[in-house]
């Protein structure tokens, strides 16, 4: 696996990306444990089929990131490439299901003339922006698959587009919209800082990719101000199924 000039031994680089993938998987699990993974233990109502498929596809992407990082760490480059073909198809499913579920949730609220309809339509715009960013990062990463140093960083940024939803649902009473955005910023710029310190220069993939994510974060913070953290944290499963708030 190639690394950029002036980098530290690649073993350290591999460990970093595997560690980041595992950390992301844990955040996603704990964030959606109540509303999805362990929902039966919390007495949550049944979910629509579309939400189940959506959850499966999104979970699959997180698992793929961990598997692909582990394959590179184990020097299984050929297997990494084979799984990558499957991953490219899976990324298309992520965009399709993410967009469909988001629009379905907004349509249900509007048709029901619920009090949450206006805010949900607004949040839908932001969620669609997240899907657009995800699609952009994945597309460029695939095009630059022959440049491992670019490819792996862009793939890591695809998760940054998904983290807000998981962070907002962490089972802690003090979590607010501002803390959710702050957590996403810490993850993104933490990756940048670690990579820059190790390689003694800012990698171009992070150099242009992170400002894009930062812009999304700042826009989200400005636009979501005043909507209330309870609205932002309302589980997607409840929105899609029109269930009562938790």
DSSP at 170: S
What pLDDT, in 10s, does the model give residues 216-240? 655 554 455 444 434 444 443 343 3
Long-range contacts of 45-52 (CB under 8 A, 24+ apart): 45/241, 45/243, 46/241, 47/237, 47/240, 47/241, 48/240, 48/241, 50/100, 50/101, 50/104, 50/240, 51/101, 51/236, 51/237, 51/240, 51/241
Q: Where are the domains of the chain?
A: 10-241
What pLDDT, in 10s, does the model give residues 96-138? 999 999 898 888 777 877 777 677 777 787 788 889 999 999 9
**Which token pair is 86?**
């499957």
Q: pTM score, two decimals?
A: 0.80
């Amino acid at each position: 696996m190639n690394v950029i000039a002036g980098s530290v031994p690649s073993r350290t680089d591999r460990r970093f990306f595997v560690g980041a993938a595992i950390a992301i998987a844990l955040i996603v699990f704990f964030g959606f444990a109540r509303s999805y993974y362990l929902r039966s233990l919390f007495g949550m109502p049944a979910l629509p089929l579309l939400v189940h498929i959506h959850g499966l596809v999104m979970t699959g992407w997180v698992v793929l990131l961990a598997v692909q990082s582990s394959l590179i760490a184990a020097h299984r480059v050929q297997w990494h490439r084979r799984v990558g073909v499957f991953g490219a198809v899976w990324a298309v499913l992520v965009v399709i299901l993410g967009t469909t579920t988001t629009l379905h949730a907004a349509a249900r609220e509007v048709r029901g003339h619920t009090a949450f309809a206006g805010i949900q339509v607004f949040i839908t715009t932001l969620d669609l922006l997240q899907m657009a960013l995800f699609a952009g990062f994945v597309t460029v990463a695939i095009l630059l698959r022959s440049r491992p140093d670019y490819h792996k960083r862009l793939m890591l940024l695809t998760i940054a587009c998904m983290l807000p939803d998981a962070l907002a649902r962490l089972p802690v009473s003090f979590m607010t919209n501002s803390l959710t955005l702050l957590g996403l910023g810490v993850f993104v710029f933490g990756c940048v800082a670690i990579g820059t310190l190790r390689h003694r220069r800012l990698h171009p993939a992070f150099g242009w990719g992170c400002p894009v994510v930062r812009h999304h974060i700042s826009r989200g913070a400005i636009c979501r101000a005043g909507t209330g953290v309870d609205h932002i944290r309302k589980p997607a499963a409840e929105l899609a199924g029109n269930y009562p708030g938790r």
